[in-house]
Amino acid sequence: MDLFDVSSEEARTLLTRSIELKSGGAEPRRTPPLLGRSLGLVFEKPSLRTRVSFEAAFARLGGSSIFLRGKDVGIGVRESVADFARVLSQYVDALAVRTFAHATIEELVRHASIPIVNALSDDAHPCQAMADVMTILEFKDRLEGVKLCFVGDGNNVARSLAVASALLGVEFVLACPPGYDFPPAFKTRFADRFPGVPLRSSNDPREAAADADAVYTDVWASMGQESEADHRREIFAPYQVDEKLMARALPDALFLHCLPAHRGEEVASGVLDGPQSRVIPQAANRMYFQMALLEWLVGGANRE
C-alpha cells in the first residue's frame, strides 16, 4: 500500500470502516470475510504493534497468518526479490512487509500477484499514519482544518503522516532541526501529487506547535540509524515534546506517538503518560485500520 496512490475518497471510506469495526462492526456477518485466507508477514526489522496488530486483524476477519523473519527468508539475498514474490504469491493472499529499502517493496509489488502492504520501510509507514488520523477523528470528531504538528525527524512516520493529512484535509506542519527536513525526492513527489497543498516545515518547535490540535513525535533515531543515535540525541534535544511545548498547543490538544517511545528523549514522561496522551488508543487503532484495509484488499468478494 502506497498512500500516494490512495484517493481522498478511498482514505475516507477506509477510515469510516475502521471506526465501524472498532464500534462492533456495521452489519452482522454469517461467515467471517477472510475465512480460509492467509496473510504472510515478512519482517526485516523488529516489531511489536505492527506484527501483532496485523496478525490479530487477520484472525478477527477469520484468516490465518504466517510470520517470516527477514533473516530466514533473505529477500534479495537467498533468492531474488522477483522469485520471492512470484513463489509467495501462490501460497498467501496478501503480504505485509517491513523492510529497510523502500525499493524492495516497490520491486515486490512489480513481481507479486497479491496485494503487498507496507508494514514500515525507511521511507514510509502508511498503516501507522492512517491509524493516526483515525485517532484524531475519534477524539476530535473532524479532520478537515485540524492542525497536526509533528516534532522531530522528517522520517518514515512523518512523511506518511504528511501524505495522510493532505488526503484528508489535515493541516500538517513538521518541526525539525536544520538538515532533518523531508528529503527533496519526497517534497517533489508530494508537490506533484498534491498541487497547491503546502508541505510546511519549521526549525522552531514553539512556533510550529502554536494552536495545534494534536502534537506528535517519534524516536530521533529510527531502526537502522542506531550508529547516529548519540549525535542525534544532541541535535534533537531542543525538540523534546515536554509540558512547556504542549502548552503552546490548544488546551485540549492530543499528544500522539507511534511507539515505541523513549521517555526523557523525544517525549517527557509527564506528557506521554499525561491526560492529553492518546497513544494507547492510537496503538489499538492500528488493528482496526488494518482490518478495514485487509477486508478491502483481500475480502472484497467475500463480503455478505
Enumerate the active-site residues.
98, 125, 128, 218, 258, 286
Q: How far apart are CA 173 and CA 64, in angstroms?
A: 39
Site for ligand NVA in 162-221 (CB under 6 A): 218-219
CB closer to ligand CP out of 29 and 51: 51
Q: At 146, list the grid cell.
A: 485540524
CA distance to 91, 216, 251, per residue, from 163 (Å): 32, 15, 26
Binding mask 239-258 for ligand NVA (x = CB under 6 A): -------------------x
Q: How far apart are CA 180 and CA 153, in angstroms?
A: 6
- Give the pairing type, strands 147-151 and 116-118: unpaired
Site for ligand CP in 36-75 (CB under 6 A): 47-50
CB of 97 to ligand CP, least distance (A): 13
CB closer to ligand NVA out of 88 and 279: 279
CA nearest neighbour of 105 among 42, 48, 158, 155: 42
Which of 18, 65, 89, 155 is in the footprint of ligand NVA by CB under 6 A?
155
Binding partner at 155 among ligand CP, ligand NVA, none, C-beta below 5 to 8 Å by kind: ligand NVA
CB of 124 to ligand NVA, least distance (A): 10
Q: Decide if residue 290 touches ligand NVA (CB under 6 A).
A: no
Cis status of the peptide bond prior to 238, with omega within 30 of 0 = no
| Listed ranges 150-158, 169-177, 205-213, 294-302: which one lies at the site for ligand NVA (CB under 6 A) | 150-158
Cell 539475498 belongs to residue: 77
CA nearest neighbour of 215 among 277, 153, 130: 277
Q: What angle do CA 183, 188, 191 make, to 5 degrees?
A: 125
Burial 161-181 (b: 16+ CB within 10 A, else e): bbbbbbbbebbbbbbbbeebb
Residue nearest to ligand NVA (CB): 222
Which of 222, 240, 282, 285 is in the footprint of ligand NVA by CB under 6 A?
222
CB of 280 to ligand NVA, least distance (A): 15
Which of 75, 157, 215, 293 is in the footprint of ligand NVA by CB under 6 A?
157
CB of 155 to ligand NVA, least distance (A): 5
Measured torsion, CA atoms of residues 149, 197, 221, 1, in degrees rounded to the nearest 10: 120
CB of 120 to ligand CP, least distance (A): 6
CB closer to ligand NVA out of 34 and 131: 131
Q: How far apart are CA 185 and CA 208, in angstroms?
A: 23
- Give the pairing type, strands 38-43 and 214-217: unpaired
Q: How far apart are CA 286 and CA 57, in angstroms?
A: 9
Cell 519482517 belongs to residue: 43
Conformation bin of residue 224: beta by default, left when phi > 0, alpha when psi is -120 to 50: left
Site for ligand NVA in 107-126 (CB under 6 A): 120
CB of 89 to ligand NVA, least distance (A): 27
Site for ligand CP in 115-134 (CB under 6 A): 120, 128
Question: What are the residues binding ligand CP (CB under 6 A)?
Answer: 47-50, 120, 128, 258-260
Question: What are the residues binding ligand NVA (CB under 6 A)?
Answer: 120, 155-157, 218-219, 222-223, 258
